[in-house]
Amino acid sequence: MTALGWHLSEKEWTEWLRVLLESGIAVIAPVLGTTGTSEFQRVGSAEEAAAPPPSRTAMSPKKFLFPQSEVLFSFDFSGESATLSQPEMERGRQLLVGLRPCDAAGLRRLDEVFLSEPEDPTYSERRQRTVIVSQACTQAGQSCFCTAVGGSPSGREGADLALTKLEGSGDLLLEPVTAGGEELAAPASASWRPITAEDRAQAARQAEAVTSAITREPLPPNAPPILASSFDSPAWAEVADGCIGCGICAYACPSCSCFDITDSGGAACGSRCRSWDSCAFSTFTRHASGHNPRADQPSRYRQRVMHKFSYFPAEHGGEMMCVGCGRCIDLCPAGVDIHHAVLALASGATLRVQARSGVKA
């Protein structure tokens, strides 16, 4: 990496986004929706992208790489020939900005799933035309626990460019993380100032402050093996007591990668789609005979926790398949808390953990 990074004013940053937009790059950023929550959306103006709302988006940005529903191909048998045709893919590049470091790290987990042999063609195609700009957090929510799973509010995993907003001046530090990121920024960088030691010191202070604002405990380092041997623990029933199997957790999660494949239309013409799926659903594993290897909700929730904190780490050098974004905790309609669940299982005492969470009164 040649460039060490640039110091931009808000105006310069906005201006750069404008240049990118005008060059035809699709810019995707968190936008405050009419419902009061923010969501990643394709934006029309640089101003919209330059000032993301402070709240974390309700859903992760994964749909821009792994759409919730995508047509794999359509088929037409109604004429004189049977044809399968794949939809035209968009060809243009897309820039994802305003991702929290956990979001970018979550997309990296998807890479590990979809880009390992054999590579998923549509994911890979989208990935190749995507540049990811992550932005260091300035606030931590009560459900955030990136630090518990090896991440950090100023982490760079999965990002092509890392952005830090300096408190006070509102200026931005833009640092290339990958060659792709540098390549995108380089043409505009001639007029940008380099990052100074003072800038770095301030960024480090900010990162330190956010990190210490995260109250959730780190996981014990041996959590994956403990979990692996806790498959039959009665605690599963307790941590997943209230789980109603709605699947929100998987849909909101930046790293969940499971999908379903379904046909629509009739025998003459129609299409085949792949759509997100969730191990929380009873239909996820149910055999055609009706037999279900995961017959109850706790066993389904166990799969969720085990996949992320035991099975995946075992195959990826200890790396968790959870980046601690806290979305599933915030959105779960039944108050199930994956961080507590893992701590509970790893320590062997669920109720103690619940008690620690502060039963006031």
Partner 1 sequence: MTKVELRGTVEAGARWKPRVVAFTCNWCSYSGADMAGTARIGYAPNVRLVRMLCSGRLDPIFILKAFEEGADGVLVSGCHPGDCHYVQGNLYTRRRLEVFANLMEFVGIDPRRLSFAWVSASEGVKWSRVVDQVVSQVAEAGPVGSWAVLHAPSTLAPQPRQPAQPPRQPPSEEEVRQTTLNLRELARRLLENGEVSRIIGYAHSAGGMSAAPAFIDTPEDAERLAWSANSPGNLTAYLSGPNRARRPGKTAVVVKTCDARSLGGLLRENQLPRDEVVAIGVSCSGQWSGGRLAAKCYACESDISPLADWSVGAGGIADGPHPGTARAVAPDPRDAEIAALASLPAGERLAFWTGEFDRCIRCYACRSACPMCYCETCIADKTQPQWIPAASSGPGNFAWNITRAMHLAGRCADCDECARACPSNIRLDLVNHSISRSIERSFGSRVEADPAAVAPLTTYRPGDPDRFL
Partner 2 sequence: MSATATLLPDLARITGARDETYDVRTLQIELVERDRAESFTWRPGQFAMISVFGFGEAALTITNPPDEEGFIEITFREMGKLTSALRRLSTGQIVGVRGPFGNSFPLDEWGGRDIVFVGGGIGMAALHAPLAAVLRERDRFGEVTVVVGAKSASDLVYRGEFDEWQRAGGARLIRAVDPGGEVDGWDGEVGLLPDVFERLGLSGAETVVVVCGPPVMLDFMLKATSRLGTPPARVITTLENRMKCGLGYCGHCSVGRFMVCRDGPVISGEALATLPKEL
Which residue number, 20 or 321, has a Cβ lying nearer to ligand SF4? 321
**SS3 state of residue 39:** strand
Which residue number, 2 or 289, has a Cβ lying nearer to ligand FAD? 289
Which of partner 1, ligand SF4, ligand FAD, none binds 222 (CB below 5-8 Å, type-dependent)?
Answer: none
Which of partner 2, ligand FAD, partner 1, none binds 299 (CB below 5-8 Å, type-dependent)?
Answer: partner 2
Least separation in angstroms between residue 340's CB and partner 1 is 7
Tokens 């109250």 belong to which residue? 215
Which residue number, 168 or 234, has a Cβ lying nearer to partner 2? 234
Which of ligand SF4, partner 2, partner 1, none binds 322 (CB below 5-8 Å, type-dependent)?
Answer: ligand SF4
Using rule CB under 6 A, residue 139 touches ligand FAD: no
Using rule CB under 8 A, residue 258 touches partner 2: yes
Question: By CB under 6 A, how many residues form the interface with ligand FAD?
Answer: 4
Cβ-Cβ contacts under 8 Å for 76 (sequence gap 6 or more)? 82, 83, 85, 268, 269
Q: How far from 343 is each of 33, 115, 213, 316, 336, CA to CA, in Å?
A: 34, 31, 19, 21, 13
Which of partner 1, ligand SF4, ligand FAD, none binds 21 (CB below 5-8 Å, type-dependent)?
Answer: none
Using rule CB under 6 A, residue 185 touches ligand SF4: no
Tokens representing 133 are 């700009």
Cα end-to-end span (Å), the chain: 56
Cβ-Cβ contacts under 8 Å for 157 (sequence gap 6 or more)? 101, 104, 105, 108, 151
Q: What are phi and psi of 40, to 5 degrees?
A: -70, 130
Which residue number, 41 or 255, has a Cβ lying nearer to ligand SF4? 255
Rounded distance between C-alpha atoms, residue 135 and residue 160, angstroms:
11
Rounded distance between C-alpha atoms, residue 352 and residue 241, angstroms:
15
Residues near ligand FAD (CB under 6 A): 260, 262, 283, 288
Residues near ligand SF4 (CB under 6 A): 106, 243-250, 252-258, 278-280, 301, 303-304, 307-308, 322-328, 332-334, 336, 338
